[in-house]
Structure 1
Amino acid sequence: MSSDKPLHVTHVKTQTIIINRLYTLFHSIAITILLYYRISSILTLRHTKTPQVPFIPHLLIFVSEFILSCIWLLSQSFLWRPITRTVFPERLPQDDQLPSIDVFICTADPQKEPPLGVMNTVLSAMALNYPVGKLSVYLSDDAGCSVTLEALQEAWKFSKTWVPFCKKYGVKTICPEAYFGKGELDDDNKANTVMKIDEFGSEKDRIKEEYELFVRKVIKISESERCVSNKNHSAVVEVMFDESRGDQRQVPLLVYVSREKRPSYPHLFKAGSLNALLRVSSLISNSPYILGLDCDMYCNDENSARQAMCFHLDPKLSSSLAFVQFPQMFHNISKHDIYESELRCTFKTLWQGMDGISGPCLSGTCYYIKREAVLYGLPPSTLKDTSLEKLKQSFGSSTKLIKSLQLKHNAKMDLGKNLTSSLLQETMFLASCVYEKDSKWGIEVGFRYFSVVEDYFTSFITHGKKWVSVYYMPSRPSFLGAGTTSLNDVLIQGTRWTAGLIEVALSRFSPIIYGPSRMPVLQSFFYAWLASFPLAFIPLWILATIPQLSLLYGVTVYPEVKSVFFLVFLSVFVLSNLQHLREIHSTGASLEAWKHEQRVWMMKGITSHLYGSIHAIMEKLGAKEASFLPTNKVIDDDQEKLYQMGMYNFQTSSMFLLPLSSLIILNLLAFVAGIVKVTFQREHINEIFVQTFLSFYITLMGYPVLEGMLIRKDKGRIAPSVSCYSVVISIIILSFGKLLVTY
């Protein structure tokens, strides 16, 4: 590596920064005037006690606008200094000088996460363009399902053919399902420039036949009656390795880990799986860097490990760099993307913005993390000088584990000699339920257990210890997965994330309090925004009911059109939407994405964020336990068809549908009432214009719900019973709402 040539360079997005800061300035002025108007109006009402002007509606709308303003202010943190990065992998040291990497892949349910897809992720990780002797792949099977182990054994056999093929011909699409399923002309052309066309073609055909045989075997295994989750089983660790020396191996080390599960012990969710992998891998390969992957997020580019090392091996950055986060990209995104499955805002706006401060948050997958950054509760430099007894208080009772931590890593381990039966027995002890008892695992050591969103909370604590992170978004997606294609999965996933985030927001680790003394203020604002943005459900519910009820009962809650304050409300609405449209355009998305993102934000706010917040509060009060449901990775044909057509699939719980349907009906009634009043009583147009427009806007955003209730006849429609119940609920809201808005 040449000392005068950097491994990476940073590009500051100057034009975007100027636009963002001007937007922040003008929007702040508008919000300040808006809040002044609300406060002065409320004080006037209380002072004069005018009976014909109700007080409660104005107060509730002020609360909604105040909460939205606070959330907006926190959100300006990721708009302050967005950057992008370029890497130069060709400047890395020689292969024998590269550090070793452990790959952690987690699966939890063989029915929702089919073994064939999991095995393709495993095979893609094994085929990364990295020295084979310095790459180890670990699969955590939280279901404890023998079917997954059998499928992994078949993957191990096929890897002996697949990995050498990828290495020999420089295959870039290293996931066999993607390579053979869609055809990769670029890969083929690259291979043809190196080898004779006939030789490559015949080799590819042979590998394809072997892959098809592998697929049939895995599908047959998956169809077994044993393909179920087991919540009561002992720890299982099985190591598969090539007995050749490290520099002569054909395939990386492959390890199956299923931590012990007992009904009487806490589950600890994904963080528990990752911590078990941390301990087991410390005794087997003990690599200084870890690639974290979800089981459905396969490696799409062979070079991601080398790209990450361009940051981790930078002498100016290495000592403080905790992890490199890559974006999650998805291969099944519809051109409509009605569920915002692409997560465009997160990976093309938020993370780039945070990279300009001290780095983004962990995203749960697609990251290369330094082992010592997440593992050590004590400063790594003090481990050798700390007494064994004190280390056991942190890391548990395993002397072998503590010794491995003190050694830090052993990249040239001779696996054939080291993987003794006693060592394997120790790894199963490390994966047992009882191992973490009376230790600091999940509290000060490893991935944190405090929240079901372990990625968010762990990275928050890590950044609080002065580590930094980096976001790298290459032109070719390094990782590809399957995005959610049903409303049910979107809302369940949103509820789970909300519960975890609100849990942190309401705790002693609340970022707005815990963060500023431990990290840059803007970064603490960002974490505070992530923890609190689901609270937007409060203003969403208020703004979807109070102005509409007020309109129906003749109460005015917004300034008249001819008032100067109307321009303030107008500017807030226009500025925020123009900024959103500009951001969408700058990230290369279509303008249609504005509509879909607005719609999903409202749907989640009304349902997922409400239920997730209630769940978190009940958990804090001890009335409910934390829960984790993996997203379903099995895509139904009808569901996929509706998604690709841009039609919502309303086959979800009535718990989600009833609030959505009821509020849309209420807003439709308010809009019709507003139009009638404007038509027959034109003198009221100035007074009720804003409320009528707001009802129209919400109705427009909720049009798919109306379509699902009144027009559609397919399987994805809203059931007639749900529509009837929604009408009843709307009538109840109308009846009790009168008392509220006329007080």
Structure 2
Amino acid sequence: MESLPLHHCTVQKLSAIINRSHVFLHCMVLIAMIYYRASSFLYPENTQTLPFLPWLLVFSSELILSFIWLLKQGFFWQPVTRTVFPERLPGDEELPAVDVFICTADPKKEPPVGVMNTVLSAMALDYPPDKLSVYLSDDGGASVTLYAMREAWGFARLWLPFCRRYGTKTRCPEAYFSSVLDDDNHGGDTEFTKHRDNIERKYEEFKERVSLAGQNVANNAQSHPPSIEVIGRNNVKAVESDQAEMPLLVYISREKKPSHPHHFKAGALNVLLRVSGIISNAPYILILDCDMYSNDPKSARQAMCFHLDPKLSPSLAFVQFPQKFHNVSQNDIYDGELKSTFMIMWQGTDGLSGPLISGTCFYIKRKALYGSNIHNGVDIPQLRQSLGPSNEFMGTLGKSYKRINIDDEDLSNKLLQHAQFLASCAYEKQTKWGQQIGFLYNSVVEDYFTGFMLHCKGWTSVYCDPSRPAFLGSATTNLNDTLVQGTRWMAGLLEVAFSTFCPLIYGLSRMSILETMCYGYLAFIPLYCIPLWCLATIPQLCLLNGIPVYPEVSSSWFIIFSLIFFSSHLKLFWDFYSIGDGSIQRCLNEWRIWMIKSVTAYLYGSLDAIFELIGMREASFIATNKVTSDEEVKLYQMGIFDFRTSTMFLVPMVSLVILNMVSFTGGIARATFEGGWNQNFAQVFLSLFILIVNYPIIEGMIWRKDKGGIPLSITLLSVTFALIFLFFGTIALMYVR
């Protein structure tokens, strides 16, 4: 008798029909728009004499926007949802082992208390503890992080039994003690309350010790030797009764030298991959960011519903869970929640070959990271060329899970010494680590590039979005962190677009056209900066000089441009409405942060990628700051922008808003006194739309006097830039008219 299925997939038929219909209709309108623009160049006698350069720039911008929009439609072709049935899994003795990889880099930006909460939540997963191992990579080599790990292990000996005894769902201590959930209070049971209060007191003591240690942070991020420690190993005899119920906990700080490239997060993950191979060698790995704690202890079992499906498993590389956040406000003015990505786009890719790796919250098959050739009887010399000179590591290939015996001191000492060799700078020299094996190095967005190559090799993935968020993290709650993070992402994506692995070239023959479009869209997202800068300046400059760049209102072609505008906005509204968040405010927030990112983060990310391509700079990685002040959080929760960011971010956005204020005012005056409404309406409306969407910037310039407002010096500098552009732009138009 055939066993019951472990999961079920449902196609969102209504969404698919609406999405495909919109694609068809919008494409027709875009073709009409392109014909109108092209015919103006090919048959100038059919239209009034117009300056060539402004029209060419606007037309080029429209073509780029149309191209990127077309690529994005791959996400909407076949959205699906999945349901899992973890209760149908085999018994614990038949479940495969899981290794958990957690990465941290800077204890100043990533406070150890928060990192340890993630570690504790991972240790408390509802999974057989003898089949669970948790590894923390500390790229900062900070002594406080190692101290915090030892303290966390001690607290875990109390925390884990408590969670198991009472079936606690929220197993991140900070989240659990900050609010008593209805399903965790056990009806006020006296014994439970007493036990809980005792655990909370122990947690506060643990947190205080770690916080005090964190006040004197010694960060050796640039240079430090390898350091590996199995936490609690020296206390095994003292806590022998607890040890059987404790997962393995390992601290790893790889060797770093300024003269050796360390490849950022991808390099850290590859060290974890090698070291864990000789210690636990679990066939499945959970990757977590240091601030992304486990919110549902059953996530491992949910992932196994896919990995243990005999029909799906042979080609399945990873199960991706959405990134969700505990600190987002109702307004989410910085789009830290990334709703359009994780609630709309990723469901669309799940109907194709599967979602992209999203940096965190995914269970990946170890075998998929090693490459297919490693498992096909390759001889020892070839293995050494690929994997490096470690016989111990090569001996783990294809072997079943066997965790290190920490009771055997001689054996564990020998393995840990060899593990330090695996974590050394020199180990990867003349190997294929980061090129064909492990997480790939060609881009600072190692998740995107590694997922792309896995899909190109024929692996698939699935997207699991249960009703209770499996993981919760910290979203960016200020403009500076949002733009710094976005700049890093955009630089990494464009690195791939400009490389020999460009998705639209390399991926086209290796995956479906729709999956290629999805990867291509993300790779070329940074190019949004070109049309956004152009459409925020050229029509406005032309408006002030009486040059129309759009059809007259009385022209039938005006309807085409109107349809494009309303079609895009109505589709955005429908997308958010379909996930229960369809409001005008949500759409305004989405458009605003897209515009701000496009003229700042997308621009600087593109420049970084170009400079790196021509050898003018080296790749860099700035960790996202996880430390926020109460004032920043207060402004964010109130839905008020915090403009305390770099001048390089503020000046472009403020200059463009000022330019559009001048353009709108001048356009209204020109249309009123010279009767040019029919010709200038579209350009006046465009300036008005930009000003409405970006009203918080106007508010920050003019009315706000708090610390989060825009400084007067920035406003004056932006006015200067706007006037310089208008002056030289007007002179240029005099020569091209």
Into which bin does the TM-score normalised by the smaller protein fall?
over 0.9
Counterpart of 2:343 in structure 1 is 348
CA contact (8 A) 2:331 2:639 kept: yes
**Alignment match, 1:300:** 295
- 1:537 is aligned to 529
Distance (whole Å) between structure 1 residues aligned to residue 595 and residue 76 of structure 2: 22
Aligned partners of 2:573 and 2:582 also within 8 Å:
no
In 2: Cα distance, 1:403 partner to 1:415 partner: 20
Q: Please tell me whether residue 124 in structure 1 is matched to residue 121 in structure 2.
A: yes
* 1:678 aligns to 2:671 (yes or no): yes
Partner of 1:110: 107
* 120, 130, 134: which one aligns with 2:131: 134
**Residues of 1 paired with 2:89 and 2:445: CA distance?**
34
Provide the aligned C-alpha RMSD in A: 1.6
Query: Which position in structure 2 is the counterpart of 1:233?
Result: 224
Q: 1:6 — aligned with what?
A: 5
The aligned runs of 1:218-257 (5 Å cut-off) are: 218-224=210-216, 226-240=217-231, 249-257=244-252
**Matching residue of 2:184:** 187
SS in 1 for 2:60: helix
| Cα distance in 2 for residues equivalent to 1:198 and 1:665 | 63
Structure 2 residue corresponding to 1:725, chosen from 702, 717, 723? 717
- Look up the match of 1:602: 595
Equivalent-residue separation in structure 2 for 1:110 and 1:169 (angstroms): 33
Contact 1:75 1:525 (8 Å CA) reproduced: yes
| Among 82, 87, 90, the residue aligned to 1:90 | 87
Of 616, 633, 640, which residue of structure 1 is paired with 2:626? 633
* 1:495 matches 2:494: no
Structure 1: give runs of 5+ residues left out of the alignment: none
| Consecutive aligned runs of 4 or more in structure 1 exceeding 4 Å deviation | 47-50, 241-248
Shift in CA distance, 625/722, structure 1 to aligned 2, threshold 3 Å: same
Q: Residue 517 and residue 247 in structure 1: after superposition, are their counterparts in 2 closer, same or farther (change >3 A)?
A: farther
In structure 2, distance between residues paired with 1:534 and 1:356: 25
**1:163 corresponds to which letter in structure 2?**
L
The answer for the alignment partner of 1:665 in structure 2 is: 658
Q: Distance in 2 between matches of 1:41 and 1:267?
A: 53
Q: Does 1:624 align with 2:624?
A: no
Give the secondary structure class of the aligned counterpart of 1:447.
coil
TM-score, L = length of structure 2: 0.97
Which position in structure 1 is the counterpart of 2:205?
213
The total of aligned residue pairs comes to: 729
Match of 2:269, SS?
Answer: helix
Rounded Cα–Cα distance in structure 2 between residues aligned with 1:482 and 1:618: 31
Partner of 1:643: 636
Q: Does residue 440 of structure 2 align to residue 452 of structure 1? A: no
**Which structure 2 residues correspond to residues 511-526 of structure 1 after superposition, within 5 A?**
511-526=503-518
1:386 positional shift:
1.5
Tell me how far 1:740 sits from its aligned partner. Answer: 3.8
Pairwise CA distance, 1:674: 1.5
What SS does the corresponding residue of 2:43 show, helix, strand or coil?
Answer: helix
C-alpha distance in 2 between matches for 1:412 and 1:257:
17
Q: Distance in 1 between matches of 2:639 and 2:131?
A: 45
Matched, 1:410 2:411: no
Tell me which residue corresponds to 2:474: 482
Matched, 1:381 2:375: yes
Q: Which amino acid aligns with 1:493?
A: Q
* Higher deviation after alignment, 237-246 or 108-117: 237-246
Q: Which amino acid aligns with 2:427?
A: Y
In structure 2, C-alpha distance between the alignment counterparts of 1:630 and 1:185, rounded to whole Å: 36
1:664-689 CA deviation, whole Å, 9 max, x = no partner? 1111111111211222233x111000
Q: Residue 562 of structure 1: CA displacement?
A: 1.0
Q: Which residue identity is paired with 1:26?
A: L
Cα contact 1:260–1:432 (8 A) shared by 2: yes
Alpha carbons 1:134, 1:246 under 8 Å: kept: no
- The residue matched to 2:427 in structure 1 has which SS? coil
1:152 to 149, 168, 173: 149
- Normalized against structure 1, the TM-score is what? 0.96
Q: Secondary structure at the match of 2:252?
A: strand
Distance 1:166 1:3 in 2: 35
Deviation at 1:48, TM superposition (A): 9.1
Match of 1:363 in 2: 358
The 3-state SS of whatever aligns with 1:405 is coil
Q: What is residue 565 of structure 1 aligned with on the other side?
A: 557
Matched residue, 1:709: 701
Q: Name the amino acid aligned to 1:295.
A: C
In the TM superposition, what is the alpha-carbon distance from 1:739 to its structure 2 partner? 3.5
Name 1:76's counterpart in structure 2: 73
Report deviation, 1:602. 0.2
* Counterpart check, 1:17 vs 2:16: yes
Q: CA deviation at 1:61?
A: 0.6
Deviations 1:41-83 (A, max 9, x none): 12234x7998x52111111111000000000110000100000
Provide, for residues 13-42 of structure 1, a one-character-per-residue CA deviation record: whole Å limited to 9, x for no partner. Answer: 000000001100100000000000000112
8 Å contact 1:279–1:430 — kept in the other structure? yes
Q: Identify the match of residue 333 of structure 1 among 319, 328, 332.
A: 328
1:590 is displaced (CA, Å) by 4.6
Q: State whether residues 126 and 252 of structure 1, in contact with CA within 8 Å, keep that contact through their aligned partners in structure 2.
A: yes
| CA-to-aligned-CA distance 1:377-402 (integer Å, 9 cap, x gap) | 343531xx221111010000101000
Distance 1:670 1:641, change over 3 A: same
1:419 Cα deviation from its structure 2 partner = 4.5
Alpha carbons 1:115, 1:151 under 8 Å: kept: yes
Asked whether the equivalents of residues 99 and 411 of structure 1 are also in contact (C-alpha less than 8 Å), the reply is no
1:291 equivalent to 2:291? Answer: no
Which amino acid in 1 is paired with 2:504?
A: I
Q: Distance in 1 between matches of 2:615 and 2:725?
A: 31
Aligned position for 1:201 = 193
Cα distance change, pair 43–641 in 1 and its aligned pair in 2 (3 A): same
Q: What is the CA deviation profile of residues 311-354 of structure 1, one whole-angstrom value per residue up to 9, with x for unaligned ones?
A: 00001100000000001111111111110011001100110000
- 1:458 is displaced (CA, Å) by 0.3
Which residue identity does 2:34 align to in structure 1? L
Deviation at 1:413, TM superposition (A): 5.3
CA distance in 1, matches of 2:694, 2:498: 31
The more displaced of 258-267 and 419-428 is 419-428
3-state secondary structure, aligned to 1:265: coil
Counterpart residue number, 2:41: 42
C-alpha displacement of 1:416: 2.8
| Cα distance, 1:246 vs structure 2 | 12
The sequence identity of aligned pairs, in percent, is: 54
Look up the equivalent residue of 2:632 and give its one-letter code.
Answer: Q
CA distance in 1, matches of 2:242, 2:144: 32
CA distance in 2, matches of 1:709, 1:319: 58
Q: Does 1:690 align with 2:676?
A: no
C-alpha separation between the residues in 1 aligned to 2:293 and 2:266? 20
Cα distance in 2 between the residues matched to 1:593 and 1:685: 31
Partners of 1:348 and 1:201 lie apart in 2 by: 38
Deviations 1:235-283 (A, max 9, x none): 0000025759999712100000000011111121000000000000000
**8 Å CA contact retained: 1:236, 1:259:** yes
CA contact (8 A) 2:404 2:412 kept: no
